[in-house]
Amino acid sequence: MANVFAFVETRGGDVRKVGLEAVTAARQLADKFGSEVHALVFGPPGIGAKAAQIGKYGADVVIIVENASLANYNPEAATATAADRIKSGRYRAAVFSTSAQGRDLAPRVAARLGASIVTDVLSLEVEGNAIVVRHPMNIGKVIATIAITGTPAILAMRPNVIAPAQNLKAGRVENSQPAIDPNSTRVRVIETKQGSGGKLDLAEAPVVVAGGRGLKAAENFKLVEDLASAFGNAAVGATRAVTDDGWRPHSDQIGQTGRLVSPELYIAVGISGAVQHLAGMRTSKTIVAVNKDKDAPIFKVADYGIVGDVFEVIPALTEAVREAKKHH
Amino acid sequence: MKIAVCVKRVPDMDVRFRIGADNVSVDETGLKFDINDFDAWAVEAALQLRDKNAGSEVTVISLGPDVVQETIRKALSMGVDRGIQLKADKVPFDGLAIAKALAEELKAGSYDLIFFGKMSPDSSSGVVGPMVSELLGMPCVTAISSLEIADGKGKAKRELEGAQEIVEFPLPAVLTVDEGLNTARLPSLKGIMAAKKKPLEVKPVQLPQPQITLRKLELPAERKAGRVVGEGASAVPELVKLLQTEAKVL
């Protein structure tokens, strides 16, 4: 049996969208093998109740590990628990997320199992005895196709490339324990500070509104924030120039190493479109650009462009989006 | 304190890449190479700790063919004390193979801290640091954007999507460095001269058999040409209509 394991990421006692994407990706693989998906949910008491829905996304078995000391991420306890389960379950593949947590966890699990890993997986196929995946290199400017023959194959999915899909499975719940006591680990996350106002994650938001130098000053990012809030499901991003100037935190930066986004809708506000930036957002489904320079490179990748002053166009767009949302 | 920093030579990303004739490599003609930015920040972090702790030493390690000696020299010119080249024909694509070779060298060094950049832009994997920590059985904190070390313990901040984690750990430890931790110093002329005399040891390594194979590289598909909807705020109603009826995202 070539069953597939999925690690369901949680934070603050909630299942994250990337966790459901991992289950959906694992389901795709398991369907090719004709096998089962076993999803591990690891978190504080109460996470099990929230994880009951995971069967709906294609998990045959949901393994719930609840522990009062898991309010914060615990890398060593998560590594030991996931690695033990992958080993004892003799899975053909284990699917994680290429999120901040997944980037920390998945390589540790792989090394502990002596297995190879591919991160930022864009798609997966099965060919003979190999799992064949696509992975962006050179900040998204080159796409690699990689065959993994070792078992288990450790795959970390890029966020937002596989939409969580409903695929009703048994979702039989199995309760388990952390493989090591979370209170005994050397590395301890003592606090998780949520960003202001529970903002959406850049990597996961269905809509991204990003601002560049065309906004002229840090305080003018309010235009971008207002437009994002008019959508209600949008995250705010920025160009490198803007984060280098300290207008926005580095974590908002799109288009450098590790910061690739693929939302349904990407709105570039006052962004000329440096090659690095374009590499970070070109896989967005729909791209809108507003810039006063009609020759700006951003218009070459934008599905829809408006040539104009962002200080006039963006408030008008914000108002129009608010109106449109009202009628839904 | 004994500190090691593992560094990688990477191409400048601000170019349009071409795929090599073999279809599994990037054509290096005309590319400019330098130390990975994240690794330069790791070197800077190590140097700052060395300078605060008398009797400390920083060793830089790079795996690859002889061209990586340039990258090692760059770190030496920033102030690193000595360099080690783990000599291999090429840097393998499989992060586990790289991690095993590095861990083999690092385990003999009894380092208090081992630094990595959080990832390199070329392979865009970011797995080697945490893999090495696991192979060495050492505590590890990835993608740190602040760091305090005192009394054999450390405290670091990690950036998550829309949040931050504050993490405590004991030494020895493996740390991977994110953007924002520091600004890397530029080598001084004096540093460049001094680097020429610093020890650079070359050790051949045997790389394990990879379990993953690169089948092909390709450039991403071009987006189909878009259109300018109009000029100024008067184009907004048309844009909103297109987002609703054509793109169906509003």
Task: Name the closest residue on chain A to residue B213, using Cα atoms.
Answer: A147
Chain A partners within 8 Å of B227 (Cβ): 303-305
Task: Name the closest residue on chain A to residue B96, using Cα atoms.
Answer: A116
Contact between B13 and A141 using a beta-carbon 8 Å cutoff: yes
pLDDT for position A275: 83
* pLDDT band, very low/low/confident/very high, at B52 (cuts 50, 70, 90): very high
- List the domain boundaries for chain B: 2-204
ipTM of the prediction: 0.94
pLDDT for position B86: 98
- List the domain boundaries for chain A: 4-184, 196-326
Distance CA A119, CA A258 (A): 10
* pLDDT band, very low/low/confident/very high, at A197 (cuts 50, 70, 90): very low
Pick from B14, B119, B167: CB nearest A189? B167
Closest approach of chain B CAs to the CA of A174, in angstroms? 28
Closest approach of chain A CAs to the CA of B19, in angstroms? 8
The residue ranking higher by pLDDT, B11 or A202, is B11
Contact between B250 and A256 using a beta-carbon 8 Å cutoff: no
A8 backbone φψ class: left, alpha, beta (φ>0; ψ -120 to 50): beta
The CATH superfamily holding the domain A196-326 is TPP-binding domain (3.40.50.1220)
Residue A327 predicted with pLDDT over 90:
no
Residue A196 predicted with pLDDT over 60:
no
Contact between B131 and A285 using a beta-carbon 8 Å cutoff: no
Three state DSSP letters for chain A: CCCEEEEECEECCEECHHHHHHHHHHHHHHHHHCCCEEEEEEECCCHHHHHHHHHHHCCCEEEEEECCCCCCCCHHHHHHHHHHHHHHHCCCEEEEECCHHHHHHHHHHHHHHCCCEEEEECEEEEECCEEEEEEEEHHHCEEEEEEECCCCEEEEECCCCCCCCCCCCCCEEEEECCCCCHHHCCCEEEEEEECHHHCCCCCCCCEEEEECHHHCCHHHHHHHHHHHHHHCCEEEEECHHHHHCCCCCHHHECCCCCCCCCCCEEEEECCCCCHHHHHHHCCCCEEEEEECCCCCCHHHHCCEEEECCHHHHHHHHHHHHHHHHHCC
Residue A321 predicted with pLDDT over 90:
yes
Contact between B223 and A282 using a beta-carbon 8 Å cutoff: yes
Q: What average pLDDT score do residues B58-84 get?
A: 98
Average model confidence (pLDDT) for chain B? 95
Contact between A294 and B228 using a beta-carbon 8 Å cutoff: yes
Which amino acid does the sequence have at A188? Answer: R
Closest approach of chain B CAs to the CA of A301, in angstroms? 6
Distance CA A184, CA B148 (A): 22
Contact between A193 and B163 using a beta-carbon 8 Å cutoff: yes
Residue B243 predicted with pLDDT over 90:
yes
pLDDT for position B56: 98
Q: What average pLDDT score do residues B179-190 get?
A: 95
Contact between A190 and B166 using a beta-carbon 8 Å cutoff: yes
Structure tokens at B78: 């920033």
pLDDT tens, position by position, B133-170 = 999 999 999 999 999 999 999 999 998 887 899 999 99
* The CATH classification of domain A4-184, taken from the options 3.40.50.970, 3.40.50.620, 3.30.360.10, 3.30.56.10: 3.40.50.620
pLDDT tens, position by position, A57-79 = 999 999 999 999 999 999 999 99
pLDDT tens, position by position, A228-278 = 999 988 999 999 999 989 999 887 889 866 578 889 999 999 999 988 898
Distance CA A324, CA B160 (A): 32
Give the residue among A270, A182, A137, A261 at the shortest CA–CA distance from B218: A137
pLDDT tens, position by position, A283-306 = 899 999 999 999 999 999 999 999
Does residue B217 belong to the interface with chain A, where contact is any CB pair within 8 Å?
A: yes
Does residue B143 belong to the interface with chain A, where contact is any CB pair within 8 Å?
A: yes
Contact between B162 and A187 using a beta-carbon 8 Å cutoff: no
Q: How many CB pairs under 8 A join A and B?
A: 289
CATH 3.40.50.300 fits B2-204, yes or no: no
Residue A214 predicted with pLDDT over 50:
yes
Distance CA B86, CA B61 (A): 7
pLDDT tens, position by position, A100-140 = 999 999 999 999 999 999 999 999 999 998 999 999 999 88
pLDDT for position A328: 66
Distance CA B193, CA B245 (A): 65
Average model confidence (pLDDT) for chain A? 93
Pick from A104, A138, A286: CB nearest B247? A286
Using an 8 Å Cβ cutoff, are A71 and A37 in contact? no
Model pTM? 0.91
